[in-house]
A and B are shown apart, each in its own frame.
Chain A
Amino acid sequence: ETGVTQTPRHLVMGMTNKKSLKCEQHLGHNAMYWYKQSAKKPLELMFVYNFKEQTENNSVPSRFSPECPNSSHLFLHLHTLQPEDSALYLCASSQETSGYNEQFFGPGTRLTVL
């Protein structure tokens, strides 16, 4: 595997379900991100982890719970979601060098909440 991988690619869940999204990066980067992409809206930064430590929580509802066990893996645990949470969830990683922070994105998980 190369780059940034995400599983599953598609997920349909009911509002009472609990599910998890997984992201893995094979680039040796120190930072990992979760973004939400809704139709015709900007990418919304949700969480940032740098060396496994959470550095950003962009006022995300508690029904989204991130976990970063090491610099290569990132999870997003989902519970009691709402239909408006249906979106593409993108994971990204980067290796910041002197302020240059190019992000490498995974293919995303298309989430539908019924």
Chain B
Amino acid sequence: GQNIDQPTEMTATEGAIVQINCTYQTSGFNGLFWYQQHAGEAPTFLSYNVLDGLEEKGRFSSFLSRSKGYSYLLLKELQMKDSASYLCAVETGGFKTIFGAGTRLFVKA
């Protein structure tokens, strides 16, 4: 079957670094996405990994290991506005994307 696992909730302090992990088992793999979704809003694109390694984009970085079926999203210099759900998603092919249930991140002062 298709399965994407990520922690349900995490809490971190403003200014700190937080790592959100994602493991996946899917029948196909074209690439892995991370989306951010604030409460009551649409998901928005954060990052994309297709090859192994780290992709850095400002305060956000995403890592992929295809052999281990593992990714993480790293958020640095946390800000209160980073409180949101973070969705890990695998594109399996043919316009089909499988989403994880999301990790709710709470940033406290």
Q: Does A50 contact B (CB under 8 A)?
A: yes
Q: Does A81 contact B (CB under 8 A)?
A: no
Evaluate contact between A100 and B31: CB separation under 8 angstroms.
Answer: yes
Q: Report B26-46 residues with CB < 8 Å from chain A CB.
A: 30-31, 33, 41-45
Interface contacts (Cβ under 8 Å), in number, total 59
**Known contacts A105-B44, A106-B42, A48 near B96 by CB under 8 Å:** yes
A88 — nearest CB in chain B belongs to which residue? B40
Evaluate contact between A56 and B48: CB separation under 8 angstroms.
Answer: no
A94 — nearest CB in chain B belongs to which residue? B95
B93 — nearest CB in chain A belongs to which residue? A99
Evaluate contact between A105 and B99: CB separation under 8 angstroms.
Answer: no
Q: Report B48-64 residues with CB < 8 Å from chain A CB.
A: 48, 50
Q: Does B78 contact A (CB under 8 A)?
A: no
Evaluate contact between A101 and B101: CB separation under 8 angstroms.
Answer: no
Residues 82-103 of B, flagged 1 when their CB comes within 8 A of A and 0 if not, give 0000010101001111111110
State the A residues within 8 Å of B (CB): 4, 31, 33, 40-43, 45, 48, 50, 55-56, 90, 94, 96, 99-108
